[in-house]
Amino acid sequence: AGYSMVFTHRARQFVELATRARALGYAGFQVAGGHFAAFHAEELLGDVPALDAVAVGEGEPILCALAGAEAEPSAAPGLVWRDGAVVRRSPDSAPEPELDKLAWPTRRKPYDRYHGLAIVNMLGSRGCAYRCAFCSIAAWHKLCGGERYRQRSAAGLAAEMGCLWRDGVRLFNFHDDNFLGARKVENLARVEALRSALAAQGVGQLAFAIKARPDAVDEEVFGRLREMGLFRVFLGIEAGTEESLRQLGRGQKLADNERALDILNRLDVHTAFNLLLLNPESTLDDVAGNVAFLRRHLDNPLNFCRTEIYAGTPLERKLRAEGRLKGDYWGLDYAIRNPEPEQAFELMRAAFYDRNFGPHPLHYLSGQVDYEHQVRMDFFGTTPAVRAEAKGYVRRVNDNTVSYLEQIVAAVRAGRATAALAADLAARVAEDDRRLHAEGDDVLARIRDIPERTRPTRGSARTRAALAASVALTLAGCRQPDTQHMEMAPPPPPPTTGAPPLPTGDGSVLVPVKEDAGTPFASPPDAGTPFATPPDAGPVPPPTYTQPMEAAPRWPPPPPPTYTQPMEAAPNWPPPPPPPPPDTHMREAAPPWGPNDPRNR
């Protein structure tokens, strides 16, 4: 049994799961892996008797070696285990340099759906070529060895996408840490290669979501991605001032952030971001500058938090050397060096914890509204009134948040950061949350009730011929043994009017109604007033884009994590999905023999 301990704030949940399994009589080998486990292997083995070992590296070679050796730890690479009172380590597990050699992941069926559209999670690459001071991703890949950033070939990626598309999948949620590299020329070449490979597979309309750094956002590259079906970008903004970007070691400029948001908004892509509003070296002026950045960008779903400390990162080593770390490996804490931003943090924690990370975070709902509208628009069309409601709702939520942040900065400057103010802010934000939640639910209902203008349409003879030819090329790939799992995002609440089922590999394709290029969404002149709903001018057909999207932030969100420090950084948007129901969570891997073998019966 493998436990994926990637995030600090979920590590205790996995420990409880492993311990409960032992209490119920499970006697098998239990191994933990992931960023958190790898950096705390010795501590976990000392503190958690239920765990037999910790994996340091990518799971495929380690788990396969354990299975082949009947859980003999010394036979597996990249393993840390107890040998009596001694903790031993096997030789490092080198990651597979050619990702195309890895088997495709096991996928649960039936697929989860948004607006009737089947969605899967995907990986087109592994690792990250950057070295941000706060990020455990780069630190973990450095610990594991091998190339820090590897990409699948365009042909290999398109083969998996083509197989899934013919099985009815239309939405592809890429979880790559960075979908693109650093150089425009190489990114253009990869995008064009993927476009050609998808065409060779006979793939029709789809939508996909990616994660990207702002300095990788180029109008030509992302214009082509949009034409292919890009509908969502989680953008690595991280900070809204030059000083904060420098402290975080981002290697990007504030101008990159501004330019990237401008390009993606003009391309009409659902774009969300998280801001590390405070860091260990923050000043109040820098906090005010980050708030001002949010004020300039109210049109995009957002969230914010304090920079947190993860093992193995340059930031962790720096604060440890300075003697500024508090807590233990279950959750490292620190005090901001300057007292004024520390006071601002305490006020923000009191006011915004539930809005950002609680059981029903308003900022997640805001992102869901924009996300679901984007999907509906790209596949089925929208109306001017509903578009105005969706975009206006995002802006109202963000304006409300930024207004409170501005009040907090002003109060700290004036020396009024008191417990009474914290309680007052918390009460007012909670009241606004109730009102804005009701508004968001109403907007979601309107989005789900949009009349549908496009229907599955039988493809041309040429399209059907291409599909038939591509099946012969990729059918074997669809049947390769499954050796890993990709966690799926659960579906949203059922829409009030369901979208019709899409074709499932019989040659049908979606043919969107074309529309003239319009102007980008205009923000209301007065950000403090509710967004005006224009007269309903009838349905607006979907744009001519043909690409997929990332899994929407789910609703309701997960229960509050068991944080051991205030306002720990939330995981990248969308947040990690909760465990599926018991009878669908643990799935048996496919047998080593073929799908038509009599032993399957």
Q: What residues pair up with 276 in beta bridges, in sequence order? A: 305
Q: Specify the amino acid at residue 68.
A: G
Binned at pLDDT 50, 70 and 90, residue 49 comes out as very high
Peptide bond into 491 cis (omega under 30): no
Higher pLDDT, 530 or 130: 130
Top pLDDT among 486 and 54 is at 54
Contacts 24+ apart (CB under 8 A), 164-167: 164/107, 164/120, 165/201, 165/203, 165/204, 165/206, 165/505, 166/202, 166/467, 166/470, 166/471, 166/504, 166/505, 167/118, 167/478, 167/504, 167/505
Which DSSP category does 215 fall into? G
**What pLDDT is recorded for position 138?**
86
When pLDDT is cut at 50, 70 and 90, the band that residue 544 belongs to is very low
> Cβ(42)–Cβ(87) under 8 Å?
yes
Per-position DSSP letters for 439-494, written without gaps between them: HHHHHHHHHHTPPP---EEEPPHHHHHHHHHHHHHHHHHHTSPP--B-PPPPP-SP
Q: For 229-280, what is each residue's pLDDT tens digit? A: 999 999 999 999 999 999 999 999 999 999 999 999 999 999 999 999 999 9
User: Dihedral (C-alpha) 196, 510, 228, 388: value to the nearest 10 degrees?
Assistant: 180
How many residues are recorded in the chain?
601
Q: Has residue 428 got a pLDDT over 80?
A: yes
The dihedral sign for the CA sequence 478, 483, 489, 490: positive
How high is the pLDDT of residue 451? 74
What's the number of CA atoms in the CB half-sphere (13 Å) around residue 2?
23
Confidence category of residue 203, pLDDT binned at 50, 70, 90:
very high
pLDDT for the residue 75: 87
Per the DSSP assignment, residues forming a β-bridge with 174 are: 122
Residue 70 backbone zone (phi > 0: left; psi -120 to 50: alpha; other: beta): left
- Mean pLDDT (the chain) is 80
- Res 147: pLDDT: 87
589-600 burial, b if ≥16 CB within 10 A, otherwise e?
A: ebeeeeeeeeee
Q: What does residue 213 show for φ and ψ, rounded to 5 degrees?
A: -85, 145
- Segment 557-573 shows an average pLDDT of 37
- E strands, 329-446, are 331-333
pLDDT of residue 452: 61
Collapsing DSSP to helix, strand or coil, 151 comes out as strand
Q: pLDDT tens digits for 82-92?
A: 998 899 999 98
Gap between the Cα atoms of 156 and 486, Å rounded: 17
Strands 53-55 and 79-83: antiparallel
In this prediction, residues 485-502 reach a mean pLDDT of: 32
Helices then strands (H, E): number in the chain? 18, 18
Tokens of 382: 């929208």
Residue 210 sits at φ, ψ, to 5 deg, of: -140, 170
123 in Cβ contact with 159 (< 8 Å) = no
**Long-range CB contact pairs, 290-296, < 8 A, 24+:** 290/239, 290/240, 290/241, 290/244, 291/240, 291/402, 291/405, 291/406, 291/409, 292/240, 293/240, 293/241, 293/254, 293/257, 294/240, 294/398, 294/401, 294/402, 294/405, 295/402, 295/406, 296/258
Q: What is the pLDDT of residue 12?
A: 94
Q: Is 381 left (phi over 0), alpha (psi -120 to 50) or beta?
A: left
**pLDDT score, position 598:** 45
Positive or negative torsion for Cα 219, 222, 226, 230: negative
How far apart, in whole angstroms, are the C-alpha atoms of residue 533 and residue 551? 28
CA separation for the pair 211, 569 (Å, rounded): 18
pLDDT at 566 over 80: no
Tokens representing 345?
Answer: 């943090």
* Residue 519 confidence (pLDDT): 26
